[in-house]
Structure formats: C-alpha cells, structure tokens
C-alpha cells in the first residue's frame, strides 16, 4: 500500500531532504536514486532500498515504477509536489526518488583481476559519474576514488553515473601508494598528456591494469605521478591540450576493453 505523508516533520521526509548534500549522505550512509529509469533499473537489479518517495504530480512513468515497487513489497510514500521539491535534486524532476543504503564494497572486491579505474582528485561530480558509468560499460572490476575526489554517491555523481554507482564496486582510498602496496601485480598506468600513446603499449601489458585519471585542472597528484609504472596518453589533433576527466577515462577504458575482447 502506498502511504500519503504531508508533514515535513516526518522522519522519512527529513532524511530524504538531507541527502541532497554529500556530507549528509556520508553521515547517514544513504543516497538518493532519482528518476523513473534509474529507480526501475535499481529495482530490477535487486538493489537495496529503504523507501521510495513519489510526488502527487509524478509522471506516468514514475507512477508505474512506484506501483511496481509497492507490488514488490518496498515501502512507497506519496507526497505533495511542494514536499517533493524539498527532496528532489533535479531541475526537471519526474517525481520519484529512492532512498538507498550506500553499497559497502571493500578494496578486495575491486581488485579481482580485472581492469580498475582510479580517480585522483577528480572533484567534478559530472566527470566522476561519467567515469563510473564508463567503468561499468567497459567491464572494469571496480572504481577507486582517492582523497580529494568527489563523493561517489552524491546526487550529481549518481545522476551522471546513471545509477551504476550502485552496481559496480566503488570504494574510497587515501592514496595510490596504499593500493600499489596491496596489489603489486597490477600494472599502474597514469593518464598524462606527455605519456606514451595508449595503443603503443598494448603488447607490453601482461598483467591486470589499473588506470589512474587526474583532475582536468591539476592532473595527477605528485604522489600518484611518483607511484605509477608508466604514463599513457590519448592521441589528439594539434591545438587540443586535454580532455575532461570523464571523457579521458571513457576513451582509455574503451581501448583496454577492445584489446581484451
């Protein structure tokens, strides 16, 4: 049964409204999955959900997803458009969001022998989410966010990742050095503009690859530069200095995926 809630003082409303900030997501160990397609995909995958909030003004697609969730035994609450605006983090919301536990993945679940993506101070949530989405698309075993990067389950990262931050293993680590000490068998490649073109080192790759992407503005941190085994680049036309972090990750992961296929 879908329950109607009209009070901002309701504990579920207060929780959902607080999750618009990354700090609150981290504190409460919860995140928002917003939009009918992302929520539906999450339900289909059997993802964990605390409850779902749906607006009285929700789109037809959102209403269908809410009913599906209710039929599956999930708690669904209906709120006014005004109350839903307190929860929503999108400009053109379709009126549905799921409040979900943040997945608890360890570093051992990331380094399982497949390609691993590491984000080094990638603070833009759009780039971070795009990188997660590409990591899932190109069969990476996981993604690591180093200190200084965006929070992997903030609303903006979740939207850019198309909700795939709830499927592919994602975890946070302090430094690349910590990773290398734990997994010395990985070949650690750092993306840098002066690196060797990626396609020219394929024949030398005999171990699993960990590809490290730095921020668009600052590149790889100095500790990461010192720790990598080799630097790689993406061939580009003259006059173009760089690509944003999300695009760079996508291209490099695509090249690695094609090599292994």
pLDDT in tens, 186-201: 999 999 989 999 989 9
Quick check: helix, strand or coil at residue 172?
strand
Q: What is the pLDDT of residue 126?
A: 97
> What pLDDT is recorded for position 238?
84
User: Per residue of the chain (261 residues), what is the pLDDT tens digit?
Assistant: 788 999 999 999 999 999 999 999 999 999 999 999 999 999 999 999 999 999 999 999 999 999 999 999 999 999 999 999 999 988 789 999 999 999 999 999 999 999 999 999 999 999 999 999 999 999 999 999 999 999 999 999 999 999 999 999 999 999 999 999 999 999 999 999 899 999 899 888 889 999 999 998 889 999 999 999 999 999 888 878 778 999 999 999 999 998 877
**Closest Cα partner for 113 from 204, 185, 180, 188?**
185
Report CA torsion sign: 120, 118, 33, 59: positive
pLDDT value for 89:
85
**pLDDT value for 12:** 96
Match domain 3-101 to its CATH number in 3.40.50.300, 3.40.50.1010, 3.30.1330.30, 3.40.50.970: 3.30.1330.30
Whole-structure pTM value: 0.94
SS (H, E, C) 26-59: HHHCEEEEECHHHHHHHHHCCCCCCEEEEECCCC
Whether 3-101 and 107-260 share one fold: the answer is no
pLDDT at position 203 is 83
Q: Which pLDDT score, from 0 to 100, does residue 35 have? A: 96
* CA quadruple 72, 77, 78, 79: dihedral, nearest 10: -160
Class of domain 107-260: alpha beta
pLDDT at 229: 92
**Cβ(202)–Cβ(259) below 8 Å:** yes
Given this model, what pLDDT does residue 217 score? 84
CA-to-CA dists, residue 160 to 93, 131, 166, 246, angstroms: 15, 9, 12, 10
pLDDT value at residue 235 = 86
Q: Which two tokens stand for residue 19?
A: 């999750």
Residues 206 and 177 sit within 8 Å (Cβ to Cβ): no
DSSP reduced 3-state for 260 = helix
pLDDT of residue 202: 85
Contact 121, 152 (CB under 8 A): no
**Domain assignments of the chain as residue spans, ordered by start:** 3-101, 107-260
* 3-state class (DSSP) for residue 146: strand
3-state secondary structure of 10: coil
């Amino acid at each position: 049964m879908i329950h109607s809630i009209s009070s901002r003082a309701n504990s579920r409303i207060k929780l959902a409204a607080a999750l618009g900030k990354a700090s609150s997501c981290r504190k409460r160990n919860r995140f928002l999955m917003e939009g009918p397609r992302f929520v539906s995909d999450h339900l289909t995958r059997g993802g964990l959900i605390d409850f779902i909030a749906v607006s009285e003004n929700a789109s037809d697609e959102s209403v269908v997803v809410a009913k599906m969730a209710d039929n599956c035994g999930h708690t669904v609450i209906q709120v006014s458009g005004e109350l839903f605006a307190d929860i929503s983090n999108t400009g053109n919301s379709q009126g549905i969001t799921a409040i979900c536990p943040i997945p608890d993945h360890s570093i051992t679940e990331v380094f399982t022998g497949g390609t691993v993506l590491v984000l080094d101070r990638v603070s833009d949530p759009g780039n971070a989410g795009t990188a997660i989405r590409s990591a899932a698309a190109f069969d990476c075993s996981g993604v690591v966010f180093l200190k200084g990067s965006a929070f992997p389950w903030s609303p903006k990262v979740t939207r850019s990742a198309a909700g795939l931050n709830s499927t592919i293993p994602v975890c946070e680590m302090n430094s690349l050095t910590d990773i290398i000490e734990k997994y010395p068998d990985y070949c650690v490649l750092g993306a840098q503009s002066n690196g060797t073109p990626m396609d020219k080192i394929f024949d030398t790759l005999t171990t699993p690859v960990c590809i490290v992407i730095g921020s668009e503005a600052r590149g790889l941190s100095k500790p990461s530069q010192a720790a990598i085994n080799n630097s790689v680049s993406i061939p580009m036309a003259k006059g173009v200095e760089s690509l944003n972090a999300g695009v760079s990750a996508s291209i490099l992961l695509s090249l690695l995926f094609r090599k292994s296929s």
